Protein backbone atom coordinates (compact mmCIF):
# COMPACT_ATOMS: atom_id res chain seq x y z
CA UNK A 1 0.00 0.00 0.00
CA UNK A 2 1.36 3.29 -0.83
CA UNK A 3 1.31 6.26 1.64
CA UNK A 4 -0.59 8.85 -0.35
CA UNK A 5 -2.44 11.73 1.20
CA UNK A 6 -5.32 13.53 -0.35
CA UNK A 7 -4.44 16.79 -1.98
CA UNK A 8 -4.91 19.92 0.12
CA UNK A 9 -8.13 21.72 -0.13
CA UNK A 10 -8.39 25.09 -1.74
CA UNK A 11 -7.95 27.71 0.98
CA UNK A 12 -10.35 29.97 -0.60
CA UNK A 13 -13.32 28.22 0.62
CA UNK A 14 -16.43 30.00 -0.50
CA UNK A 15 -18.61 28.85 2.35
CA UNK A 16 -16.44 30.35 5.15
CA UNK A 17 -17.70 33.60 6.82
CA UNK A 18 -16.06 36.81 5.80
CA UNK A 19 -15.17 39.12 8.83
CA UNK A 20 -15.47 42.72 7.93
CA UNK A 21 -14.76 44.37 11.35
CA UNK A 22 -16.75 45.25 14.51
CA UNK A 23 -20.45 46.09 14.10
CA UNK A 24 -21.51 49.70 13.92
CA UNK A 25 -24.31 50.78 16.37
CA UNK A 26 -26.46 53.84 15.76
CA UNK A 27 -27.24 55.57 19.17
CA UNK A 28 -30.21 57.87 19.01
CA UNK A 29 -29.62 61.50 20.06
CA UNK A 30 -30.91 62.31 23.59
CA UNK A 31 -34.10 64.27 23.73
CA UNK A 32 -35.41 66.58 26.48
CA UNK A 33 -38.29 64.85 28.31
CA UNK A 34 -41.57 66.54 27.85
CA UNK A 35 -43.69 67.01 31.03
CA UNK A 36 -47.27 68.01 30.89
CA UNK A 37 -49.19 69.71 33.72
CA UNK A 38 -51.84 67.29 34.91
CA UNK A 39 -55.30 68.49 34.34
CA UNK A 40 -57.58 68.36 37.39
CA UNK A 41 -61.25 68.05 36.84
CA UNK A 42 -63.73 69.44 39.38
CA UNK A 43 -64.35 72.49 41.51
CA UNK A 44 -61.51 74.82 42.51
CA UNK A 45 -60.02 74.29 45.95
CA UNK A 46 -61.74 76.07 48.77
CA UNK A 47 -60.61 76.35 52.36
CA UNK A 48 -62.74 74.14 54.63
CA UNK A 49 -65.37 75.91 56.63
CA UNK A 50 -65.61 74.90 60.25
CA UNK A 51 -68.77 75.17 62.25
CA UNK A 52 -68.74 76.57 65.71
CA UNK A 53 -70.74 75.09 68.52
CA UNK A 54 -70.70 72.36 71.08
CA UNK A 55 -70.65 69.59 68.46
CA UNK A 56 -68.63 71.37 65.77
CA UNK A 57 -64.95 71.43 64.94
CA UNK A 58 -62.30 73.89 65.86
CA UNK A 59 -62.82 77.33 64.35
CA UNK A 60 -60.76 78.14 61.30
CA UNK A 61 -57.63 80.17 62.09
CA UNK A 62 -58.53 82.40 59.20
CA UNK A 63 -61.98 83.22 60.52
CA UNK A 64 -62.46 86.41 62.58
CA UNK A 65 -62.29 85.87 66.35
CA UNK A 66 -65.66 85.37 68.04
CA UNK A 67 -67.16 88.17 70.09
CA UNK A 68 -66.33 88.09 73.83
CA UNK A 69 -68.76 85.94 75.77
CA UNK A 70 -71.05 87.88 78.09
CA UNK A 71 -72.61 86.53 81.24
CA UNK A 72 -75.93 87.16 82.90
CA UNK A 73 -76.81 89.29 84.77
CA UNK A 74 -74.66 92.15 83.43
CA UNK A 75 -71.34 92.58 85.20
CA UNK A 76 -71.88 96.30 85.73
CA UNK A 77 -75.01 95.56 87.76
CA UNK A 78 -73.09 93.53 90.33
CA UNK A 79 -70.35 96.16 90.55
CA UNK A 80 -72.84 98.99 91.08
CA UNK A 81 -74.76 97.07 93.75
CA UNK A 82 -71.55 96.22 95.60
CA UNK A 83 -70.35 99.83 95.53
CA UNK A 84 -73.70 101.06 96.86
CA UNK A 85 -73.38 98.92 100.02
CA UNK A 86 -70.92 101.17 101.93
CA UNK A 87 -72.80 104.25 100.76
CA UNK A 88 -76.00 102.83 102.21
CA UNK A 89 -74.26 102.10 105.52
CA UNK A 90 -72.92 105.65 105.86
CA UNK A 91 -76.20 107.29 104.87
CA UNK A 92 -78.16 105.01 107.21
CA UNK A 93 -75.92 105.76 110.19
CA UNK A 94 -76.17 109.50 109.57
CA UNK A 95 -79.95 109.38 109.29
CA UNK A 96 -80.24 107.28 112.44
CA UNK A 97 -78.14 109.78 114.40
CA UNK A 98 -80.01 112.83 113.08
CA UNK A 99 -83.47 111.37 113.70
CA UNK A 100 -82.48 110.10 117.14
CA UNK A 101 -81.06 113.47 118.13
CA UNK A 102 -84.25 115.18 117.03
CA UNK A 103 -86.26 112.84 119.24
CA UNK A 104 -84.03 113.59 122.22
CA UNK A 105 -84.42 117.32 121.70
CA UNK A 106 -88.18 116.90 121.53
CA UNK A 107 -88.20 114.89 124.75
CA UNK A 108 -86.21 117.56 126.54
CA UNK A 109 -88.57 120.25 125.22
CA UNK A 110 -91.65 118.32 126.37
CA UNK A 111 -90.22 117.50 129.81
CA UNK A 112 -91.28 119.49 132.86
CA UNK A 113 -88.25 120.22 135.07
CA UNK A 114 -88.89 119.70 138.74
CA UNK A 115 -88.89 117.15 141.52
CA UNK A 116 -91.88 114.95 140.58
CA UNK A 117 -92.24 113.07 137.27
CA UNK A 118 -94.95 110.84 135.84
CA UNK A 119 -93.10 107.82 134.44
CA UNK A 120 -93.99 104.52 132.74
CA UNK A 121 -93.29 101.11 134.20
CA UNK A 122 -90.39 98.94 133.06
CA UNK A 123 -88.65 101.74 131.19
CA UNK A 124 -85.05 102.92 131.26
CA UNK A 125 -84.95 106.65 132.01
CA UNK A 126 -82.06 109.09 131.74
CA UNK A 127 -81.73 111.78 134.40
CA UNK A 128 -80.61 115.23 133.26
CA UNK A 129 -79.74 118.16 135.49
CA UNK A 130 -78.72 121.74 134.60
CA UNK A 131 -75.08 121.81 133.62
CA UNK A 132 -74.48 124.95 135.71
CA UNK A 133 -75.64 123.13 138.86
CA UNK A 134 -72.81 120.58 138.61
CA UNK A 135 -74.92 117.83 140.11
CA UNK A 136 -73.43 114.38 140.71
CA UNK A 137 -75.37 111.11 140.64
CA UNK A 138 -74.16 110.33 144.13
CA UNK A 139 -76.04 113.38 145.35
CA UNK A 140 -79.40 112.34 143.86
CA UNK A 141 -82.13 110.07 145.21
CA UNK A 142 -84.91 108.50 143.13
CA UNK A 143 -88.00 106.99 144.82
CA UNK A 144 -90.98 105.20 143.25
CA UNK A 145 -94.69 105.80 143.98
CA UNK A 146 -94.36 103.51 147.04
CA UNK A 147 -91.46 105.62 148.27
CA UNK A 148 -88.99 102.81 147.67
CA UNK A 149 -85.58 103.96 146.53
CA UNK A 150 -84.63 103.15 142.93
CA UNK A 151 -81.01 102.51 141.97
CA UNK A 152 -79.45 105.37 140.00
CA UNK A 153 -76.46 104.40 137.83
CA UNK A 154 -74.01 107.31 137.27
CA UNK A 155 -73.44 108.35 133.63
CA UNK A 156 -72.11 111.38 131.87
CA UNK A 157 -72.19 111.13 128.12
CA UNK A 158 -74.35 113.72 126.44
CA UNK A 159 -75.79 117.17 126.91
CA UNK A 160 -79.14 118.48 125.68
CA UNK A 161 -80.46 122.00 125.34
CA UNK A 162 -84.09 122.90 126.01
CA UNK A 163 -86.01 125.55 124.02
CA UNK A 164 -85.09 128.21 126.61
CA UNK A 165 -81.40 127.67 125.97
CA UNK A 166 -80.68 125.85 129.24
CA UNK A 167 -78.06 123.14 128.81
CA UNK A 168 -78.78 119.88 130.61
CA UNK A 169 -76.08 117.33 131.33
CA UNK A 170 -76.66 113.60 131.63
CA UNK A 171 -76.29 112.61 135.29
CA UNK A 172 -77.47 109.00 135.58
CA UNK A 173 -79.87 106.26 134.49
CA UNK A 174 -82.51 104.26 136.31
CA UNK A 175 -85.22 101.73 135.43
CA UNK A 176 -88.77 102.11 136.71
CA UNK A 177 -90.51 99.13 138.29
CA UNK A 178 -94.05 100.51 138.23
CA UNK A 179 -96.05 103.31 136.68
CA UNK A 180 -96.79 106.45 138.62
CA UNK A 181 -95.23 109.50 140.22
CA UNK A 182 -91.51 109.35 140.90
CA UNK A 183 -89.65 111.85 143.04
CA UNK A 184 -86.09 112.86 142.23
CA UNK A 185 -84.12 114.87 144.80
CA UNK A 186 -80.65 116.15 143.95
CA UNK A 187 -78.32 118.23 146.08
CA UNK A 188 -78.05 121.72 144.64
CA UNK A 189 -80.77 121.38 141.98
CA UNK A 190 -84.54 121.16 141.84
CA UNK A 191 -84.85 121.30 138.05
CA UNK A 192 -84.28 117.66 137.19
CA UNK A 193 -85.49 116.13 133.93
CA UNK A 194 -86.13 112.42 133.34
CA UNK A 195 -86.61 111.24 129.78
CA UNK A 196 -87.12 107.77 128.37
CA UNK A 197 -84.42 108.29 125.77
CA UNK A 198 -86.36 107.03 122.78
CA UNK A 199 -83.91 108.94 120.63
CA UNK A 200 -81.10 106.66 121.82
CA UNK A 201 -83.17 103.65 120.85
CA UNK A 202 -83.67 105.13 117.39
CA UNK A 203 -79.95 105.73 117.03
CA UNK A 204 -79.08 102.17 118.04
CA UNK A 205 -81.72 100.40 116.02
CA UNK A 206 -81.22 102.66 113.03
CA UNK A 207 -77.49 102.00 113.04
CA UNK A 208 -77.99 98.25 113.24
CA UNK A 209 -80.53 98.26 110.42
CA UNK A 210 -78.26 100.39 108.24
CA UNK A 211 -75.29 98.07 108.74
CA UNK A 212 -77.33 94.92 108.12
CA UNK A 213 -78.89 96.41 105.00
CA UNK A 214 -75.45 97.38 103.69
CA UNK A 215 -74.14 93.86 104.34
CA UNK A 216 -77.10 92.36 102.54
CA UNK A 217 -76.67 94.67 99.57
CA UNK A 218 -72.95 93.96 99.38
CA UNK A 219 -73.60 90.21 99.50
CA UNK A 220 -76.14 90.55 96.70
CA UNK A 221 -73.62 92.44 94.58
CA UNK A 222 -70.99 89.74 95.05
CA UNK A 223 -73.51 87.03 94.12
CA UNK A 224 -74.38 88.92 90.93
CA UNK A 225 -70.71 89.23 89.98
CA UNK A 226 -70.06 85.52 90.59
CA UNK A 227 -73.16 84.56 88.58
CA UNK A 228 -71.97 86.73 85.69
CA UNK A 229 -68.52 85.13 85.67
CA UNK A 230 -69.96 81.60 85.75
CA UNK A 231 -72.41 82.19 82.89
CA UNK A 232 -69.71 83.97 80.87
CA UNK A 233 -67.35 80.99 81.29
CA UNK A 234 -70.06 78.61 80.14
CA UNK A 235 -70.80 80.75 77.09
CA UNK A 236 -67.09 80.91 76.27
CA UNK A 237 -66.77 77.12 76.44
CA UNK A 238 -69.82 76.77 74.19
CA UNK A 239 -68.26 78.87 71.42
CA UNK A 240 -64.77 77.32 71.72
CA UNK A 241 -65.32 73.74 72.87
CA UNK A 242 -61.66 72.70 72.47
CA UNK A 243 -60.27 75.72 74.24
CA UNK A 244 -57.25 77.73 73.04
CA UNK A 245 -54.70 75.98 70.82
What is the model's pLDDT at position 40? 53
Distances (CA, A) of 240 to 20, 51, 70: 88, 11, 14
Q: Taking residues 151-180, what's their average pLDDT? A: 83
How long, in residues, is the chain? 245
Which position has the higher pLDDT, 162 or 155? Answer: 155
Picking from 68, 10, 20, 41, the residue whose alpha carbon sits closest to that of residue 240 is 68
Residue 71 lies in a domain: no
Residue 124 lies in a domain: yes
Percentage of the chain modeled with pLDDT above 90: 27
What is the model's pLDDT at position 209? 94
What sign does the dihedral 112-115-121-124 (CA atoms) show?
positive
What is the model's pLDDT at position 245? 45
Q: How many domains does the chain have?
A: 1
Residue 239 lies in a domain: no
Residue 100 lies in a domain: no
pLDDT category at 69 given cuts 50, 70, 90 is low
Angle subtended at Cα 99 by Cα 96 and Cα 102, rounded to the nearest 5 degrees = 145
Residue 163 lies in a domain: yes
Helix, strand or coil, per DSSP, at residue 189: strand
Q: Give yes or no for residue 92 having a pLDDT over 80.
A: yes
Integer Cα distance of 66 and 58 in angstroms: 12
Q: Give yes or no for residue 204 having a pLDDT over 80.
A: yes
Mean pLDDT across the chain: 78
Residue 193 lies in a domain: yes
Integer Cα distance of 230 and 227 in angstroms: 5
Q: Taking residues 152-164, what's their average pLDDT? A: 76
Residue 240 lies in a domain: no
Parent domain of 193: 111-198
Over residues 131-152, the pLDDT tens digits come to 888 888 888 999 999 999 999 9
Picking from 158, 199, 154, 196, the residue whose alpha carbon sits closest to that of residue 175 is 196
Q: Give yes or no for residue 181 having a pLDDT over 50.
A: yes
What is the model's pLDDT at position 30? 61
CA dihedral 169, 203, 152, 172 (to 10 degrees): -10
Which residues have C-beta within 8 Å of that of residue 157, sequence separation ≥ 6?
Answer: 170
Integer Cα distance of 203 and 95 in angstroms: 9
Which residues have C-beta within 8 Å of that of residue 153, sequence separation ≥ 6?
Answer: 137, 172, 173, 174
Integer Cα distance of 91 and 204 in angstroms: 14
Residue 149 lies in a domain: yes
Over residues 24-66, the pLDDT tens digits come to 656 666 666 565 655 655 555 565 555 554 444 555 555 566 6
Integer Cα distance of 102 and 125 in angstroms: 17
Among the listed ranges 35-39, 131-135, 171-175, 214-218, which one has the minimum average pLDDT value?
35-39
What is the model's pLDDT at position 165? 78
Amino acid sequence: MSNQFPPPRNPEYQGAPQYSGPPQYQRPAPQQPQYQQPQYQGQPYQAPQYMQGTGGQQPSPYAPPPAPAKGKPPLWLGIVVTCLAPVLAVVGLILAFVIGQQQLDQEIADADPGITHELRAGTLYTLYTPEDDAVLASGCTVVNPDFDQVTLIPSSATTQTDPDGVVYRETGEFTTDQEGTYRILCDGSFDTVAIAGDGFVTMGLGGVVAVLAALGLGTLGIVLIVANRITAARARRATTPYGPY
